[in-house]
Every structure is written in C-alpha cells, then in structure tokens.
Structure 1
Amino acid sequence: MGRWGHTFLRDSALDGWVRIDSKRVYSSDYFGVYIDEVRLPNGERISYDWFEAPDFCVVVPLRDEKLVMIENYRYPADGWFLEFPAGHLEKGEDAQDAAKRELEEETGYTPKELFYLQWYYPTSRSNQRAYVFVARVDKKGKTKREQSELQRVKIVSKDYLKRKILSGEVKHGATLVAFALALSRGFF
C-alpha cells in the first residue's frame, strides 16, 4: 500500500504481474519514486519504475455563461498555461472538499453547486488519481494562493476556450480532460 492509500502493482494472479521487491529511491512532499522487481505472466523478470503522488482535483467553474479559469505559470515548462483550478488533496481530505478548497484558494470563488463527473489516471506510470468536478459559482472573495503559485484569474467564454483548445494553445492535460468530460455531460 502506498503512502496515499493506493496500491499500484498488486500481487494478483488475475492480472499476472507479481511484485517480487519494491525500493523507494526518492521521496519528497510531492512524490515518491519506486523501482520494483516484477515477474511478468510469461515468467520474465523486469525492473519497473513508477512514481506515487497525491491525488488531485480539477474544477470547471461556471459563472453564468462564462468560465472562471486561471493563467498559471509553470516553472518546469517555463511558461504560462490557461487552466481550470486544480490542486492536490490533503492527506485524509475528501475529493469534494478539496475541489471546494482549491476553487476558493485559486480563484476566490465559492461553489453554490458542485457536480462530481468522474476520476481518471493522468499518467500510466503512477497510481495518482484525478477527480473532475463542475462548479456553478456566484460570488467572488479573496484568493489564498500558495507562495509558489503565480496565477491570474481569467473569465472567458466557452467559445473562447473551445477556440484555444482547437488551435492547440491549451496544453494542460487536466484542463483538456475536464473540458471533454464537462462537454460530454452537457455542461457546454
């Protein structure tokens, strides 16, 4: 069982992968890196590297007919990204509570209605889950950003976001998935 309560590789005859050994080779407050020795269904042994990270939520905030988004500076990519509010779940925190908290911290808006859409695995080499919500918001308060977050709130139309996605300008994976899920559920 991992630090955040998930099991990535299971010792299960059903899937045929058997974990022989697991070594944590790096650990921080944000993620842990593991190298596992695994026996495959054909009997071959391999090393399998993977990382464990806390789950996160992403929120599609709707204000009237507009979307509340953030322009977020991402240090590793050295650029600004148009994104929906998102953030990690605190240890023991429910995804719905995290969605409300992240929405308020990053935009200042509080949800009057919150709809859970679904969760997904954002990457194949991790057990991290992403929980997607849509929020109907009304009043704006103050943001409570973390020291490392460089962000600007941006109110956009749904058509504006669609154009930015179709032109390839939206690069944030969780935003693209959340938009597709909200669209498929009839929110746009």
Structure 2
Amino acid sequence: MEPGKEKLWETTIGSEPIFDGKIIKVQIDTVKMSDGATAKREIVKHPGAVAVLAIRDDKLLMVEQFRQPLGRTQIEIPAGKLERGEDPREAAARELEEETGYRAPELIHLSSFYTSPGFADEIIHFYAAEELTQGTLQPDEDEFLEVIEMTLEEAFEHIRAGRIGDAKTLMAVYAWQIRKLTGNWPI
C-alpha cells in the first residue's frame, strides 16, 4: 500500500461467485473499508482484450457489427478478447487478420487501459498498425461483421452521428488525429 493512502484502501473479506459465463464471471465481494465498516462490491471479471487502430492507404480499418446490449449496429476498430495465457501482441495480430483480412509487419503498443474500473477488471491492450498486407478474413463463427475503411473526417462524422461511440474506437480516432498532426503516435 502506498504511504498516506491507507484511508482509501479496502480489504476483501469474502467473495461470492454469482455467474460463470463464456466470457465474463460475476462475483460479489464483501470488503472492509478503512473506517472498519463493510460494503458489497459487484465485480465483473474479464480475461482482457486487445484493440487495433489499423491504417491502410490513409484510411482507418473499422468493422460494423450488431451489438446486442445496444440493440443496433456499431462501428468499431478491430478488437477481441484474450485467450487464457495469450500474449496481447499475438492476440492483436490474430484479431486484426480475423476481422479485417489484413496483417501488419509491426504492432505498436499505444496503451493499456481499464474499461470500467468501478465494477470490472477488463483491460484492453491498444495497438496501432500500418503498412498492412493482405491476409485472410476469418471472423469467429458467431461473429457477423462488415469491414469499412474511412477517412479521419468520415470517422468524426460517424462519431457525431452516434455510429461510433465506444471508448476504444473514440481513442483510436483521436490517436490517429494526433498521428496525422504530429507524425508520431501518442505513446
């Protein structure tokens, strides 16, 4: 524990599994807070994921697919969950090829970030890819998607229209804008 942060600390005194699904697990933890009181914390456990900001001919590669929680399609950058023990860079290469049909000679790690640390431990490892070559499009058997290439201006139009609205894709669009303005990835 970091000195001076004791009042922020919580200690887990119990954990009750609620759901064990294909992708996520849900548990309720009982914690003891620094003042001695106890509280319940609902937690979603996730294996982690990768996302790829892929540029081809000065266009961003995106995928559009139906998102059941939203009840509509969403335009996103290629992404997917990590398999147990999988290296994030290898997973990013796999997801890029599976979802777009392209390979990258190099994947540049831009950041790793937590999606919703208030209730989930999901971490996304975020990569950039350029100089793409043709690979093989192989979406998962339960995944139906359409590959889209768009300019930066088109991406901002989709953001304004609400067709791009997830955090990883918003981050990708802004990271690409920084790249275009400065010549460097924001790392």
- Give the aligned partner of residue 133 of structure 1: 127
Are residues 1:161 and 2:152 paired?
A: no
CA RMSD in angstroms, aligned pairs only: 2.0
- Give the aligned partner of residue 3 of structure 1: none
- The CA deviation string for residues 82-103 of structure 1, in whole angstroms up to 9 with x for no partner, is 1100001111111100000000
Which of 147, 169, 172 does residue 166 from structure 2 map onto?
172
- Higher helix proportion: 2
- The CA deviation string for residues 75-118 of structure 1, in whole angstroms up to 9 with x for no partner, is 23221111100001111111100000000000100012211001
Answer whether contact 1:117 1:182 (CA < 8 A) is retained. no
TM-score (norm 1): 0.86
Q: How does 1:77-116 map to 2 (within 5 A)?
A: 77-116=70-109
CA–CA separation in structure 2 for the residues paired with 1:31 and 1:128? 9
- The CA deviation string for residues 1-39 of structure 1, in whole angstroms up to 9 with x for no partner, is xxxxxxxxxxx9584211111111110121111111111
CA–CA separation in structure 1 for the residues paired with 2:41 and 2:161? 36
Aligned length: 177
- Following TM superposition, by how much is the alpha carbon of 1:43 offset from its aligned partner in structure 2, in angstroms? 1.2
Are residues 1:48 and 2:47 paired?
A: no
Structure 2: which 5+ residue stretches go unaligned?
A: none
Are residues 1:69 and 2:62 paired?
A: yes
- Give the aligned partner of residue 121 of structure 1: 114
Deviates more, 1:100-109 or 1:156-165: 156-165
- SS at the partner of 1:145? coil
Structure 1: which 5+ residue stretches go unaligned?
A: 1-11
CA–CA separation in structure 2 for the residues paired with 1:187 and 1:160? 20
Residue identity (%): 29
- Give the aligned partner of residue 39 of structure 1: 32
- The CA deviation string for residues 147-184 of structure 1, in whole angstroms up to 9 with x for no partner, is 21110011111111122224433122221123334444
CA–CA separation in structure 1 for the residues paired with 2:34 and 2:27? 21
Which of 142, 146, 151 does residue 140 from structure 2 map onto?
146
